[in-house]
Structure 1
Amino acid sequence: MTQTLPTVDRLPGIWPAMLTPLRADGAIDHERFVRHGLALLASGCGGLTPFGTTGEGPSFSVAERIAAVDALVAGGIPAERLLVSTSACALTDLIALTEHATRIGAWGTMLMPPFFFKGMSDAGVVSVYEQVIAAARAVHAGLDAPQPLRLMLYHIPQVAGIGLTHGVIRELLARHADIVVGVKDSQCQLAHSLSLLEAFAPQLMVHVGNEPDLPELGRRGSTGAVSGLANFIPRTVHRLVSQPDAPGTPGDLAHVQALLGALGGYALVPAFKGILALRDNDLGWLPVRAPLQALTPDDLPGLQATLAAAGHPQRPD
């Protein structure tokens, strides 16, 4: 029997893991950031996720991230349509970012375990989440008419070097079922995502970061995703999860698989920014924060040829 996710507090629709545009001096380009966010919402996205992995989140300071999120809200993006990634190494940074997102009324926060020290015990990981949640609860208690307090766990061990065990998830659910609403599984292994479903649905919503897995999750009740590809093909990504058995789904899936396969020779964040630079004819999208290395204007013809070979330009989203 196919098991479905809970009917309450599902992530509604596609929430692009926003790329973070930078100015020539390396600072975050707030104007371009807001413009990108508004365009994504206008395309039908349920909300936005700033400062995840695709957004180079851990490469920016707490002050930079808070200022940029404030710029999104000041620029007309409702706070309740933001799922703010608050991942960082230092506990005090995690708390500051999560408190800020709570204070402005964000839909929720998304948090991976602190990732500098490896081999941490489940008890150590749970302790970090406990302290962040306690701080968020304290801020939330002092707000007038607040948004529900929501935390999405973030599992991406191949990048972070540390993941979330079933034991950690089970313990956090036992203690904070009113707050821990989901897990974003970006391990990019369908079997692992299905194991999370088997272990925790319907109490916990499970969303995958690997877009080719979206149809299977959609069949099992997933209603949305936090997606890097949604920066430029949000409608395609949404159809994969919302219409998993529609006649056009095999074509959409083939497009996504071909695109990801074609980009296999690139670092994904610089490549994604290159795609936006080509789409918008805007070289201002190219800069990335070190240690990532940006594509140069001379790299763009090769990227364009790679995309053409994958059929991407012929499929406007």
Structure 2
Amino acid sequence: MSAFGKPRVFVPVVTPFRSDLSVDTPRFVAFCRWLIGQGAGLAVFGTNSEANSMSLAERRALLDAVLASDIDRTQLLPGTGACALTEAIELTRHAVAGRCAGVLMLPPFYYQGVSDDGLFAYYSEVIQAVGSDALRVLLYHIPQFTGVPISHALIERLITAYPNTVVGIKDSSGDWANTEAMLKRFPGFAVFPASEALLGKALPLGAAGCISATANLQPHAIASLLAATTADDRAVWEAKVTALRTIVQALPMIPALKAVVAHHMQHAGWSRVRPPLTAFSAEQANALLAQLDALGFSMPPVQQVAA
């Protein structure tokens, strides 16, 4: 069993913006509460949260707002990776001070072709600067975005040096062979695939659950798949979550997710994205919604998530 106990789903929570593109904090916190109520944990400031379009101050303030709510802090896994080492240290220290369950850390993603030595130094500097036994780090492997892969040799080196601190990884590479190899090579290390569609193969190998963008739309269904105790139940939930995932992942993920949430929450702030991303047009949104309608997809009533 991983450091996170039984398999869990964490959500890189999408971020609503006001018309001036400032963060709509009350609406974000309300949505976080709803996700928790649906059985999911919160990987706030993930890729699909548009975290890398936010300033350090915005991320700190938004985490403070979540911490100030009635959300269980053991459900929080904020993203704290940054290009600047000093920002990564500050965000990670802030998450530890807030008693979050752990942090999800991108590698520094501007310089390409950096060595494992350089990446080891980056993670080591953060861990040592934070200097807390309470720190739990999940690495974040998403080389198609960062251009900086996290090798198995680097994982081995980090968990050897920091066995109680570096406890897992999110594998967003989309490469099942890589996920499978990590699960087999690092037993007890919390490996989270980024797609619920892989859970049927990953769970028998000891996966810790998933950290999935489309959990913004189907947190209960994914949580139900993870909790299923019979083969029949698992098959039903796996088919359900995979069908939705297949539709959404074929599109630009962030605007697609936000278009769906905006429709079901009946609030335009959910559909807004920060440049350089572009929001879906009405035609794009309607085409996606029609596909989801054909699946019988729905989200709970607006009043459950409205700020």
* 1:71-100 CA distance string (max 9 Å, x none): 111122233321010121111111111111
Does residue 33 (structure 1) correspond to residue 56 (structure 2)? The answer is: no
The CA distance in 2 between the partners of 1:316 and 1:236, in whole Å, is 13
Structure 1 gaps of 5+ residues are: 142-147
Aligned to 1:156: 142
- Of residues 243-252 and 190-199 in structure 1, the stretch that sits farther from structure 2 once superposed is 243-252
Aligned to 1:274: 259
TM-score (norm 1): 0.88
SS of alignment partner, residue 104 of structure 2: strand
Compute the displacement of 1:235 (Å).
Answer: 1.7
Does residue 119 (structure 1) correspond to residue 113 (structure 2)? The answer is: yes
1:188 to 141, 154, 174: 174
Aligned to 2:9: 14
The CA distance in 1 between the partners of 2:160 and 2:166, in whole Å, is 10
The CA distance in 2 between the partners of 1:66 and 1:125, in whole Å, is 24
Assess if the C-alpha contact under 8 Å between 2:136 and 2:167 holds in 1: yes
SS of alignment partner, residue 49 of structure 2: coil
Does residue 306 (structure 1) correspond to residue 291 (structure 2)? The answer is: yes
Report the CA distance shift for 1:264/1:193 in structure 2 as closer, same or farther (over 3 A): closer
Report the CA distance shift for 1:129/1:264 in structure 2 as closer, same or farther (over 3 A): closer
The CA distance in 2 between the partners of 1:98 and 1:264, in whole Å, is 30
Could you tell me which amino acid in structure 2 is paired with residue 127 of structure 1?
Answer: A
Assess if the C-alpha contact under 8 Å between 2:193 and 2:210 holds in 1: yes
2:158 to 160, 169, 172: 172
The CA distance in 2 between the partners of 1:280 and 1:296, in whole Å, is 17
Aligned to 1:242: 227
1:97 to 91, 104, 119: 91
1:218-257 matches, within 5 Å, as 218-243=203-228, 246-257=231-242
Does residue 288 (structure 1) correspond to residue 273 (structure 2)? The answer is: yes
Compute the displacement of 1:254 (Å).
Answer: 2.9
Identity of aligned residues (%): 35
Compute the displacement of 1:315 (Å).
Answer: 9.1
Assess if the C-alpha contact under 8 Å between 1:223 and 1:241 holds in 2: no
Aligned residues: 301
Aligned to 1:43: 38
Compute the displacement of 1:265 (Å).
Answer: 4.8
* 1:30-84 CA distance string (max 9 Å, x none): 0111100001111122x21101111111111110000001011112223332101
SS of alignment partner, residue 192 of structure 2: strand
Report the CA distance shift for 1:245/1:213 in structure 2 as closer, same or farther (over 3 A): farther
Structure 2 gaps of 5+ residues are: 302-307
